[in-house]
Amino acid sequence: MVKTLDARTSQGSNGRNILTPSFTNGVPLLFAQVGLQVNNPGTSVRTLFSGIVELTANDLPINGNLVIEVYRGLGASQQLVYRAGTVVLANQFFSPCVFSFTGSEYNVPNSGSGQIVYSAYAIFTYDPLFSVSNVRLGPESFNATIYSDD
């Protein structure tokens, strides 16, 4: 039997307002973080997560890249558990770029603190020869649910 231990959402924007700070070329931007409570877990702890990021890059002269990275932990103790990306097309017709993702982590190690933290970063990269003004539009959110067997 599976039991849900906790579920959380971190929402930076529902899509109604422009977000700050905006992206800096190639610099990871923390856009979401959740702390999942893990009390009396059974065996086989696993996490399912999903999210969405939207940006505009109307003046992008050549294609860029948007990468999402999800880490377990805080600060220097972070462990990369998921990475996915998409091409941001240099075409106003395809802007804004909406990127949604779903991932999971199996056999999550037990935390001595009773909490497991997931941090989600977005990295926007493009040719540094060009100056690109881009905007984090939203919606921008991250959802995580942690489960275990009884």
Banded pLDDT at 30 (limits 50, 70, 90): very high
Q: Which two tokens stand for residue 101?
A: 């993702």
Average pLDDT across the chain, whole number: 90
Reported as a single tens digit per residue, the pLDDT across 82-108 is 999 999 988 877 778 899 999 999 999
Task: Evaluate if residue 74 carries a pLDDT over 80.
Answer: yes
**Closest listed residue to residue 60, CA positions, set 144, 146, 124:** 124
Supply the pLDDT for residue 124.
Answer: 92
The beta strand positions in 57-96, using DSSP E, are: 64-72, 79-88
Residues spanned by the domain of 79: 2-16+24-149
Supply the pLDDT for residue 142.
Answer: 97
Give the separation between CA 140 and CA 111, rounded to whole angstroms.
28
Give the separation between CA 63 and CA 51, rounded to whole angstroms.
23
CATH number of the domain to which 76 belongs: 2.60.120.40
- Number of Cβ within 10 Å of residue 26's Cβ equals 12
Q: Which of 14-23, 115-124, 136-145 has the lowest mean pLDDT?
A: 14-23
For the chain, the domain total comes to 1
Task: Evaluate if residue 23 carries a pLDDT over 90.
Answer: no
